[in-house]
Structure 1
């Protein structure tokens, strides 16, 4: 029939996921961690949520589909919360929208072709390699910036990023909320990269947020809020494209929602009491650990594809090591966020008591 979508046999074979109580509880937990990181970092949390679902046995492309579908509704709430704090530059988001749309469309097409030609193991390998390449680059880039600042230096974009960010190719646009002026073409490039990664691994925030910070010069908290605004569009489009190909399991999506909505609120509040450099430190640590996690599990997928041979014991060892880095990254990230929020609350309480004491002394006099 003309216009019908042809679904590969491989897709049909992976459509059903057994939803045990343990699986359901794990998905709620993954949603909570991802939601907190999303609200705090503006990255959607998918760089930990997608691998975590894959570690539960969910095929990578279905994990991406569930993530980007759940991201749509979560992004609406997260963007609204950040908007209340004045963290969203809607003009920048709307300018990037066209390139974002193209990026998502291209990514979904590539992922479908990889699945059809290489099967589930090949799709998992493709997604994992994308994670390793992009997360390694982003974490190294951010680590250099954090290290430079900690040593008393001035934060820098870095060589290539500084050259790209300083390009004055007309037309130049001023974004009021972010208080930056940059080339339209540079903003579109960031939108395209964000959309492609959103469609490939479920979120583009961990490239979109650093790109806005280092290439466009956007403040950290505005980059986080604006990326969530962009995620509304990429999530909506990605959910539709994956759904028409039978790759969206709504049970997974809804369970992710249950955990993520609470985590998202906590994370968004954290951006108001935690310094921008601390946000970068959390993001750098988590991204680096997830990159290691995905790199360690690659041999397992190569064995599944029969590219290499390895004993089952060795495969299990790689899997355990991958899970340790993956879940450790979530534990480290959430612990740091909650600790800094607690310290900020302590400081605020101390200042409030000091003001109350001064007020009492003044009234006595």
Structure 2
């Protein structure tokens, strides 16, 4: 089998027909991603790129839509965090040049792979990145959850602590975050965050933990500062992917429509659900998304002519991947909404009880 045809810049978007069902599916993806982002605090959009790819949207277009949609959300989120004093703008301004470099390199690599290996090669590259990154994040979070359940205090003296205490000049002090760290560490975190954002459409779910554990930034400041940085990475990513013709504004607007509703509900959920439950849901979803992308690797290798799969095997693997992906997103969203409903019922019952007690007392 010959390699996949190489599309010219912008050619990949021509196949997209915006049927009502397709539009509803994209909006639903935005809702789930927004709900998870609001509920988890940051990074829920990691499910949106794979979900769009499962709809048949080329991976590079899914990344372009995700990072463009992230740009608008980052402006609103950064503004809200800024009102609470959670944004270290000095840190953001120091890091944004390395962030820009990361996005620039990522988009250049993705575009080069698309033109050299075609859509299947591009999808394979993006999926492989998801598998590597999400597997690492899930292992880290699973260990964290295990320690919490066993009542074990956070481990000290590990690799992250050694990096955090690295005294590599020049050192720089960030007042809002109240940390003094090496400029090179800050730039390395920014480059990695930008590279991931440019490659898979979202970098915050790695950037935020990196700020916390490597730079020593408080959690709330890390979340706010990452959103501030996401304005720059989203702006540059949107520009570069649009320049190559890989951004379909119809998809972006549908993602916005769904995610704004989801974000509102998710933010409410954080007030009524314990942090341990939040981590458990996030870890479970990350694992399933990583598995779904891993399952698609042989499919893309087949499309590249590097592996021979029968038509039935090709279809079965792709279907199993889709089921795994959608089950994680829809299942996680259902659990979140159920917990919110339970909290609402408990609150209503408590108010009724208080009201009845007042009536009885009078």
TM-score w.r.t. the length of structure 2 is: 0.89
Aligned to 1:322: 321
CA distance in 2, matches of 1:191, 1:48: 22
Aligned positions of 1:115-134 closer than 5 A:
115-134=114-133
In the superposition, relative to structure 1, how do residues 159 and 42 fare at CA in structure 2: closer, same or farther (>3 Å)?
Answer: same
Match of 2:3 in 1: none
| Cα displacement (A) at 1:170 | 3.5
Instruction: Pick closer, same or farther for the CA change 1:69–1:171 going to 2, 3 Å.
Output: same
Q: Distance in 2 between matches of 1:166 and 1:34?
A: 35
Distance 1:265 1:196, change over 3 A: same
Q: Which moved more, 1:316-325 or 1:36-45?
A: 36-45
Give the Cα–Cα distance (whole angstroms) in 2 for the partners of residues 313 and 222 of structure 1.
50
Would you say 1:185 and 2:176 are equivalent positions? no
| Root mean square deviation of aligned Cα | 2.6
Residues 1:15 and 2:4 aligned together: no
2:98·2:188 contact (CA, 8 Å) conserved in 1?
Answer: yes
Per-residue deviation at 1:155? 2.5
Tell me if the contact between 1:50 and 1:202 (Cα under 8 Å) persists in the aligned partners.
Answer: yes
Q: 1:222 to 1:284 in 2, by over 3 A?
A: farther
Partner of 1:306: 305
Distance 1:26 1:308, change over 3 A: same
Q: 1:124 to 1:184 in 2, by over 3 A?
A: same
User: Which whole-Å deviations, capped at 9, do the CAs of 1:41-75 have from their partners, x for residues lacking one?
Assistant: 34443321001110011110011111111111122
Matches within 5 A, 1:1-365: 9-16=7-14, 17-156=16-155, 159-345=158-344
**Residue 10 of structure 1 contacts residue 115 of structure 1 at CA under 8 Å; is this kept in 2?**
no
> Once the two structures are superposed, what CA deviation does each residue of 1:270-307 show, in whole Å capped at 9, x if it has no partner?
34444444333232222111111100111110010010
Pair 1:24–1:244, CA change in 2 (3 A): same
Task: Out of 104-113 and 266-275, give the one that drifted further.
Answer: 266-275
Indicate how the Cα distance of structure 1 residues 223 and 171 shifts in structure 2: closer, same or farther if over 3 A, else same.
same
How many angstroms does 1:231 deviate by? 1.2
- DSSP 3-state at the match of 2:9: helix
Query: How many Å separate the matches in 1 of 2:251 and 2:271?
Result: 31
Structure 1 position 352, deviation (Å): 6.2
- Judge conservation of contact 2:49–2:200 (CA < 8 Å) in 1: yes
Q: CA offset at residue 84 of structure 1?
A: 4.3
Q: Distance in 2 between matches of 1:271 and 1:128?
A: 30
Query: How far is the alpha carbon of 1:344 from its aligned partner?
Result: 4.9
1:114-164 Cα shifts (integer Å, max 9, x gaps): 011000000000000000011101110111111111100113378322222
Distance of 1:242 and 1:93 partners within structure 2:
23
Q: Contact 2:36–2:45 (CA<8 Å) still a contact in 1?
A: no
In the TM superposition, residue 167 of structure 1 has moved relative to its aligned partner by 1.8
Corresponding pairs, count = 356
Tell me if the contact between 1:197 and 1:204 (Cα under 8 Å) persists in the aligned partners. yes
Alpha carbons of structure 1 residues 215 and 349: separation in structure 2 relative to 1, 3 Å:
farther
Cα pair 2:99 2:194 within 8 Å, conserved: yes
Q: What TM-score comes out, normalization by structure 1 length?
A: 0.88
Residue 5 of structure 1: aligned partner: none
CA contact (8 A) 2:10 2:244 kept: no
Cα deviation, residue 358, structure 1: 8.7
Deviations, residues 299-351 of structure 1 (Å, cap 9, x unaligned): 11001001010111111111111112211221233234334444555566677
Residue pair 1:43, 1:204 contacting (<8 A) in 2 also:
no
The 3-state SS of whatever aligns with 1:57 is: coil
- How big is each residue's C-alpha offset from its partner over 1:22-55, in whole Å with a ceiling of 9 and x where there is no partner? 1100000001111122223344433210011100
CA distance in 2, matches of 1:148, 1:21: 47
Instruction: Report how far residue 359 of structure 1 moved.
Output: 8.1
Alpha-carbon distance change, 282 to 266 in structure 1, aligned in 2, over 3 angstroms: same
Superposed CA offset, 1:217-248 (max 9, x none): 33444433332222111110000001111111
Distance across 2 between alignment mates of 1:332 and 1:107: 32
